[in-house]
A and B are shown apart, each in its own frame.
Chain A
Amino acid sequence: MENPNRREVMPTLALRSLFSHKSIIRILAILAICVIFLLPIYRLIMLSFTSDGNLTFANYTTILQDAATWQVMKNTLIVVAGSTVISLIIGVSLAWLVAYTDIRAKRVMQLFIVLPFVIPSYITTLAWTQFLGTDGLYMKLASLLPFSVEPINLYSLAGIIFVLGLSHYPLVYLLTVSVFGKIPRELELASRASGAKRWTTFRKVNVPLAMPGIVSGGFLAFLANLDNFGIPAFLGIPAQINVLSTYIYQQVVGFGPSAFARAATFSVLLGMVALIGTAIQWLFLRKSKRLETTIEDKQPRYFLGKRKWLIELIIWLFFSLTGVVPLISMGMTSLITAYGVDFSLQTISLENYQFILNTSSKAKEALGNSAMLAGVTAVIGIVIGTAIAYLRVRKPNFLSKFTEVSIGLPYALPGTVMALSMIFAWMEPVPGWNPGIYGSIMILFIAYITRFLILQVRGSITAIMQVDLSMEEAAHVSGAKGWSKWRKILLPLLFPGVLTGAFLVFLSALTELTVSSLLWSSNSETIGVVIFGFEQAGYTTYSTAFSSLIVMLIILGFTILYLAQSYWNRKVGKRT
């Protein structure tokens, strides 16, 4: 392994080639990061040290002395650790199968893998509780068996872990799959030729080389599991199990002047948990190696032979259970005239869709708003997030690490708290000056960028870590400098990984709920706000119709893409 410090002079060239006034840029960048990412967090931390207008540790001493706090912390750690492990196992296994084996219908699989990210989590949990409930399909099937089967209780720690893990494995999958593809098969062959068994080869060659992807994905899944409110609220509250995100919300809605300070204190505790996670991922990544090749090798390396159909069957069963069953359950609800009636020919109608598409102007406005918010956030993310990722990988100094941690924190904070701190920070960024950002759609742009930029940064870091420095040096030696180096060498190599990040940002922003629900104002409703509004008002048939519509649009997008790609391939005549 070469010493990265020895080569530290070179990478700055890549950025200097982009911006000539480096120090000005640097100062502006630090300023922007401080204002956008750290100001809300600063206001939050200050609030946690405030009681009756005085600086004090009182909030911490009362909260840390409360036995309930430790119970909540314990629950949180169990839930987050468990669900992250599940996300990792499923995500890495699927990535391995798709990247290396001769399994069929990989593209369609990718669609199913993304689905859990698109379906709102309350729909997923609802579907699971219906499926596993006492009158659900599971018990009906179980009663056919010769032996008796205990009903599964989802309203438990295990239930929360299970549903969270299933909802967030796409993060692991998406950041891992292309990394696997880039590991040169020659390395594996060399290892096998030296007498290593398959498993040893996987453990000693593939895992270490894929570490940047696995750890990035695992870290994002960890943050998502830590922050998620919908699932622990739906499954935990009935069973009286609290985790930090639901407990903080409980404090906030308990209002009264002291509640914000308490909520802020809990949020700081949550931030500490996120920091511990960051430290762990750093430990893992420290030892990771870079790759020499950069081309994704899509040819199968393992032929499953006779076991192929069995593995495919298991995968499709898994997709049916996790993706299709919730979707069908959602689609069925969206077609019935009233919630709770049996699904039959007499009760089916399209009137819920008619309401969404015709009667309700909000739904259309929300579609437009969310599409624009998600699009702009994704584009800004691609540019800024990739620049930050580049600095983080090529110049791993204190400043770039500090930047990465600052950007990660807003993603880990519970949405409600993050939204409240955005109000504190942006209503009067400078005391006495209200720029009108809060109360307009601008606040949502800022909030989404603040919250989701880390997804882009992690996606781009994974991509950049795959490109060995020697590629850049070779470009320099061959005379490519400045913009042409980026255009001809770096961008084409980074493109897939960068777009994975952009894709995550786009989808997350499209269906975002918790932050929007406090920050939206008239004429800036988002999809999540409208769906949740219907849901809260008891109009489940409308909310499911709108959700189904969103899912259909996304599937439509995939289909157009799929057809266009097949057409392109046929015309150009190349194989993928």
Chain B
Amino acid sequence: MSKIKFSFLLISILTIFTLLAGCGQTQEGNASSVSGELNFYTSQPDADAEKLISAFNEQYTDVNVTVYRSGTEEVISKVQAEKQAGEVQADVLLVADAVTFESLKKQDMLLEYKSSEAEQIPDSFVDSDGMYTGTKVMSTALVVNKEKVSEMPTSWKVLTDEGSSGQVVMPSPLYSGAAAYNLGVLTRHDDFDWEFYENIQANEPMITQGNGDVLKAVANGEKSYGMVVDFIVARAEADGSPVKLVYPDEGVPVITEPIGIMNNTDNQPAAKAFVDFVLSQEGQELAAEIGYTPIREDVSAPEGLKTIEEMNVLDADINELYQNRELDKEQFNQLFGE
């Protein structure tokens, strides 16, 4: 390859990208008692976090919120690494499930804050010590490919049916926080127990890293049935993907994407205002608008999703789940690691 060729290549690529380089934006504003920087770490999809922050900024114009977004496990890894390196940078944290927050609580990393907005939220979704509060309701249900399956299943047992052999996909609890929560809850229910997972394993399931991959495998017809969080299916269904969301009769495990404040935050007023906003009626209506089932009883769920009252919730003791999460994962790894 000639030198001219390469130099042109580098220059032309560089030029194109530089021309396309976007413009950074800074939020400016005034008139509010709350101000300053706020570091928000979350596992919510980017676009959703962006909408949340711009709505928050309409009320609190002086708070400059910076976001770090990734999967729950990576967000927590980053927070843990920051802790070991000296100082946690996050002020407010919003990630998948209560069990994750329970572990942070046990490590004494959270600030106690009982938001007045939490009165409208069912007690079971609010930490009794005020360390974290659920922000939405996200159940794990069945996703079915409409083109490959004509008769919609009504039970989780479809995953263990002999007829479903080779047609099942689910996320790995070793990588997905929601899947680890489901594993904990389901194996503690008499209807399911470990036998449920053993029978799934007999069907030679595909185990993906995350929920998005489950949806993809079912949407593109690679598999017929998947175990997956409800809202991504409802969205895909609304967009026209050939998938159907089914809430099994036995009930569904539910995670609540709790929000909490890190105890070494240097902007408590802004952090508290942010938590209040997320839990407020306005914040919850925004969540519903984006496509989540809200956690407040006075806000209704978006189309295609059930509200919390309509759901038959399968749950288990949070503390027990927290204590046993590593063991559950280990056991799963042994069962599926053959």
Interface residues of A (CB under 8 A from B): 68, 110, 126, 129-130, 133-135, 155, 177-178, 233-234, 237-238, 240, 242, 249-250, 252-257, 260, 296, 337-341, 347, 360-372, 374-375, 378, 416, 420, 423-424, 427-428, 431, 434, 438-439, 492, 495-496, 499-500, 502-503, 506, 517-518, 520-523, 530, 533-540, 553-554, 556-558, 560-561, 564-565, 568, 576
Contact = CB atoms under 8 A, between A and B. Distances in A.
B211 A538 contact: yes
B136 to A, nearest CB: 15
B240 A561 contact: no
B172 interface: yes
A500 B6 contact: yes
A533 B207 CA distance: 20
A349 to B, nearest CB: 11
Contacts of A367: 17, 20-22
A574 to B, nearest CB: 11
A496 B242 contact: no
B239 interface: yes
Contacts of B20: 364, 367-368, 371, 553
A339 B81 contact: no
A200 to B, nearest CB: 29
B94 to A, nearest CB: 14
B207 A538 contact: no
Given A253-B175, A368-B17, A521-B66, A240 B239 contact: no
Interface stretch (B218-226, B250-258, B277-285): B218-226
A340 B221 contact: yes
Contact of B76 (A255, A363, A416): A255
A520 B70 CA distance: 10
Contact of A428 (B18, B86, B337): B86
A439 B242 CA distance: 42
B6 A499 contact: yes
Nearest to B205: A238
B77 A237 contact: no
B16 A233 contact: no
Given A340-B241, A565-B4, 18 more contacts: A254-B329, A256-B103, A257-B80, A260-B80, A339-B239, A341-B241, A371-B14, A372-B17, A374-B17, A378-B10, A420-B81, A503-B6, A503-B10, A522-B67, A537-B45, A539-B47, A553-B17, A557-B12
Nearest to A503: B6
Contacts of B215: 339, 538
Contacts of A249: 175
Contact of A506 (B13, B47, B232): B13
Most buried by A among B172, B220, B235: B220
Contacts of B207: 237-238, 240
Contacts, number: 234
Interface in B316-338: 326, 329, 336-338
Interface of B: 1-10, 12-14, 16-18, 20-25, 45-48, 50, 66-71, 73-74, 76-78, 80-82, 84-87, 89, 103, 107, 172, 174-175, 206-212, 215-216, 218-222, 232, 235-236, 239-243, 326, 329, 336-338
- A-B CB proximity, top 3 nearest: A368-B21, A364-B22, A371-B17
A135 B220 CA distance: 10
Contacts of A536: 45, 70-71, 210, 212
Given A240-B336, A368-B21, A536-B212, A557 B13 contact: yes
22 contacts: A237-B172, A254-B329, A338-B241, A339-B220, A340-B218, A341-B242, A364-B21, A369-B21, A423-B81, A423-B82, A424-B85, A427-B86, A496-B2, A517-B70, A534-B46, A536-B45, A538-B211, A553-B16, A556-B12, A558-B9, A560-B8, A565-B5
Contact of A337 (B3, B80, B235, B240): B240
Given A253-B77, A518-B77, A518-B78, A341 B21 contact: no
Contact of B66 (A370, A372, A522, A540): A522
A340 B220 contact: yes
A431 B85 CA distance: 9
Most buried by B among A260, A339, A369, A538: A538
B85 A495 contact: no
A255 B73 contact: yes
Given A368-B18, A428-B85, A538-B235, A423 B78 contact: yes
A572 B174 CA distance: 62
Interface of A is mostly: helix
A240 B70 contact: no
Contact of B89 (A340, A363, A439): A439
B22 A361 contact: yes
A253 B206 contact: no
B261 to A, nearest CB: 18
B172 A253 contact: no
B4 A338 contact: no
A521 B80 CA distance: 16
Contacts of B241: 338-341
A254 B67 CA distance: 23
Contact of A502 (B10, B209, B239): B10
Contacts of B337: 68, 240, 242
Contacts of B336: 240
A166 to B, nearest CB: 21
Contacts of B10: 378, 499, 502-503, 506
Contacts of A242: 337
A496 B5 CA distance: 9
A423 B73 contact: no
B46 A537 contact: yes
B77 A420 contact: yes
A299 B203 CA distance: 59
A538 B221 contact: no
Contact of B69 (A296, A438, A533): A533
Nearest to A426: B85
A536 B72 CA distance: 11
A378 B24 CA distance: 23
A367 B5 CA distance: 23
Contact of A253 (B13, B23, B89, B174): B174
A444 B73 CA distance: 21
Nearest to A382: B10
B338 A240 contact: yes
Nearest to B83: A257
Contact of A238 (B12, B80, B208): B208
Given A506-B13, A520-B68, A538-B212, A130 B5 contact: no
A133 B22 contact: no
Nearest to A336: B240
A560 B12 contact: yes
Contacts of A517: 70, 74
A115 B16 CA distance: 18
Contact of A434 (B69, B87, B243): B87
A427 B85 contact: yes
A366 B17 CA distance: 10
Contacts of B24: 365, 523
A250 B89 contact: no
A499 B47 contact: no
A564 B22 contact: no
A65 B70 CA distance: 34
B326 to A, nearest CB: 6
Given A177-B1, A361-B22, A427-B86, A337 B16 contact: no
Nearest to B17: A371
A421 to B, nearest CB: 9
B329 to A, nearest CB: 7
Nearest to B81: A423
Nearest to A233: B209
Contacts of B222: 129-130, 133-135
Given A367-B22, A496-B6, A502-B10, A254 B174 contact: yes
B57 to A, nearest CB: 13
B269 to A, nearest CB: 20
